[in-house]
Amino acid sequence: MIKAKPNRARRVRAFLAANRVREAFVRKHKPRFTRVLRTDLQLVLRTLRAGRASPQDIQKALRSNEGAWLAAQRDLFLEVWKHFGNAVWHSLSKLPRKAAEPAWVSLQSLAADEHLATQGAQRIRDITDTTRKAVSNMARRGFDEGLSGREIEDNIRGMGVFKESRIETIVRTETGVASNMGSQAAAKATGIPLKKEWITVADTRVRGGAKPKKSKRKSKKPPKRPGSNHKKMNGKKIPLAQQWAVPRGDGKGNDQMMYPMDSSAGARADAIINCRCVEGYIPDSSAPAPVAPKPTAKPRLPRKPAAGSKPKPATTATAGKGAGKRGAEVREEILRDLGVKQSDIDAVANRKAHQRAVRLAREKGDSAALAAAQAEMRKSSNAYSSAKTSTAQSRNVRETRAKLAVEGNKARVGYEAGTGPFDDKLKPVLRNKMKDARDFVRSITSSKLVVKPIQLQHHGLKAGGRAWARPDFLGQRDPFKHATVAITEREKIQVIVHEIGHTLEFWSPRTAKATKAFRARRTKLASGKVAKKKPLGKSYGKDEVFLEDDFHSDYVGKVYDGNSTEVLSMGVERLYADPVGFMLDDPDYFDFMIDLLRGHL
């Protein structure tokens, strides 16, 4: 008996341990995916019985069930993502497992949501398109052969797209993607310099491991070759931030992946579907040693005041722990300088009070109080309209933005050009927009909120894409906190400001706590209970919900799985787009934003 090499034995043990957990998740979620696929079959048969057999009709029927696919995918993805991520986080960071929610979950939750909205949704669309093409071809063939409706239905029921083997392939693929992505997300979040290792079991089922059998009979069809050679990847190690270059089975190029089964860089489907590979993490001994900080000078003792001299009064900038004036002081000063009448301020405040009264009456189910509150709101509508008209004439957005600037040290937010599918002529325009948005956020944010400097990079999205932001983890010795902002060619500056606002929340630990507390206070019902979550609407996904309040937009109350919110990002966006309207319509929200950005909270 020949003993296996230690490295190979370790890789096999790691693979088998991960595969056992994956199979448990497959068994758990397979029944739900089976029900969703059966619903697809029933929708297809119902459409054919109604005499609608065109590909467009079949596609419309299948698209009506995509919400169920996405919901099943999301539940499976997040459960597997967190499970494997927690295992990696605790093994690398050596933290106790009793923690309710490790820090990596809140930091990487937006990246998971962005993956589900893009690559995850694309996988579901591919599943639906495959079903549509197969059913359309079968129905057309049946009509051409003169089969009856019952015979066509029987043929469709026996198709491979509706068999149990396809469900297993779908669930295994989704489980593998979620487990590998969650593992790497947690590994990056530790900040430890690591290398990643590609692990397979090295059996005959591994891509590239089995050679096509030689047949004595000559066939016109060429033998099938493995779509991607994963056998050659077994045991390879590269830095954590580097992409894998997986050789293709035909020898023509490589598939780029950040982790096994990653399709973000355009890897082909035959390199991803039913892949069993996993990723391991080991310390990177080649990483440079951390630079020791320079010793700071000894603090000087304050001088004693001279005899007979009066002590200087503490200014607003030095009296509190934040920088500059508080939000209420800034708001009153700006409105006074702009010449806004007190009657207009009172008219807007009354309107907000009537709106709250209407909401309270609806919560209690008091029809009499609701009618009275609505009547009062109608009476104040004329005064409110005239106040909005008069204040609109006195608004000077650029001048007001300058008055919002922080006194003293500002947050250090850098920017470097990123990558994206943009034309060279458009890149300077995008860079200027990014710099303008960065300069505004930096001007209103104190260094007391963001202690460590943030380095931004933009990533290009195709036309019609939805902007997003995410943190990038490059190791704890990096002097910067990195983040990527994804934008389209025609993105408005206020949207870029919104996404940069998310980066402040990523890298300021107390910010997320403050924004969640503010949202909880504003959305709490009169009875003291938490408001029910409501869907955002047709323009958003079915799983995107919010907590209702009289915010200027329902999106402010959006709820994420982790600690992220939209309070800071939407507030910063409105400070840029309409600061005067912000302080008039919602002074409480405005004061909170100024106090938060200046480090008073």
Q: What is the pLDDT of residues 248-282, one digit of tens each?
A: 767 777 888 889 888 887 788 888 888 888 888 88
**How far apart (Å, rounded) are the C-alpha atoms in residues 514 and 470?**
20
378 and 454 share a domain?
A: no
**How far apart (Å, rounded) are the C-alpha atoms in residues 486 and 467?**
5
Q: Is 584 inside any structural domain?
A: yes
Domain of residue 462: give its range.
Answer: 400-597
- Report whether 426 contacts 489 (CB < 8 A): yes
Closest-CA residue to 22 (of 73, 76, 69, 72) = 76
pTM for the model: 0.52
User: Helix (H, G, I), strand (E, B), or coil: what is residue 504?
Assistant: helix
Q: Is 472 inside any structural domain?
A: yes
357 and 450 share a domain?
A: no
Among 179, 195, 211, the domain boundary falls at: 195
pLDDT band for 96, please (50, 70, 90 cuts): very low
420 and 483 share a domain?
A: yes
Among 394, 409, 435, the domain boundary falls at: 394
Q: Is 404 inside any structural domain?
A: yes
Q: Is the pLDDT of residue 164 over 50?
A: yes
390 and 405 share a domain?
A: no
Q: Dihedral angle at the C-alpha atoms of 325, 328, 331, 332, nearest 10 degrees? A: -100
Q: Is the pLDDT of residue 572 over 60?
A: yes
409 and 487 share a domain?
A: yes
- pLDDT for residue 560: 83
Q: Is 304 inside any structural domain?
A: no
438 and 577 share a domain?
A: yes
Higher pLDDT, 176 or 143: 176
422 and 492 share a domain?
A: yes
Mean pLDDT of the chain: 76
**How far apart (Å, rounded) are the C-alpha atoms in residues 255 and 270?**
10
Number of domains in the chain: 3
Higher pLDDT, 296 or 465: 465
48 and 123 share a domain?
A: yes
Query: Is residue 145 classed exposed, middle or buried when 0-12, 13-18 and 19+ CB atoms within 10 A define those classes?
Result: exposed
83 and 112 share a domain?
A: yes
Q: Is 290 inside any structural domain?
A: no
